[in-house]
Amino acid sequence: MYIVIVGAGDIGMPLIDIATRSGNEVVVIENDPERADHVAGEYDCLVLNDDATAHNALIDAGIEKADALISTTDRDPTNIMVCLLGQEHEVPTIVSVVHDPEHMNVFRQIGVNTMENPQELIAEYLYRAVARPAIVDYMQIGEQAEVFEIRVTENAPIAGKTLIEAADEDLLSEDVLIVAIERDGREQPITPRGGTTVQAGDLLTVYSAFGADPELTDVFGHPEDRLR
């Protein structure tokens, strides 16, 4: 893909790293000279030290052939302006960071995909890492549902049982679905079936309609979450 990234700050830098390592053609627009020089020396991408709200900057970045435009600056008005300019050039995918929740409506009205308040998301993630150490990674869906990763311990009630056996013994309710199993020695994740046996050491990707509550994490051998 041809990706134009606006901003090389705390959010933009990791994004530039991921996008370039994934083999995309990346152009970065950064108005701070020091940041622009750093990106140019660190990554295999074109870097423009310019103001992305200036129409010519986007033209120089090749916006006409861009598959995606991602605005990551720390100022919502700048991100909004960049997105509007991107729409003028009919960029297929436009994504922006939103720092102030009160600005979400504006981004929705102009039809931009958003990531809301990244600092708050990071803070919540860090807190959950302390409060629920069994959860390796998670994504909230709606008000309660979550998709999360969790490691099965040696003493887990589900260890050594097939998914059918786990359901028959009420270890897993109808609202819980094991989506994938990563197992040492296998290059690809296992797509679970009813007869698949869960083993100690497995890293499970789990969907739960009621979230990763302590009763559920107990099933995978993590009573420590109940104590917090």
> Which residues of the chain form CATH 3.30.70.1450?
132-227
Q: How far is CA 167 from CA 46, 154, 193, 194, in A?
A: 54, 19, 12, 9
CATH numeric code, 132-227: 3.30.70.1450
Please give the Cα distance from 39 to 25 (Å, whole number): 14
Residues pairing with 46 in the sheet = 27
What residues contact residue 208 under an 8 Å CB cut-off, 6+ apart?
145, 146, 147, 148, 175, 176, 177, 216
> Which residues of the chain form CATH 3.40.50.720?
2-121
**pTM for the structure as a whole:** 0.64
pLDDT in tens, the chain (228 residues): 999 999 999 889 999 999 999 999 999 999 999 999 999 999 999 999 999 999 999 999 999 999 999 999 999 999 999 999 999 999 999 999 888 888 888 888 888 877 766 666 667 766 776 667 788 777 778 778 989 999 999 999 999 999 999 999 999 999 999 999 999 988 899 999 999 999 999 999 999 999 888 899 999 998 865 544
Q: What pLDDT shows up at residue 225?
A: 52
Whether 65 contacts 96, CB under 8 Å: no
Which amino acid is located at 66 in the chain? Answer: A
Architecture of domain 2-121: 3-Layer(aba) Sandwich (3.40)
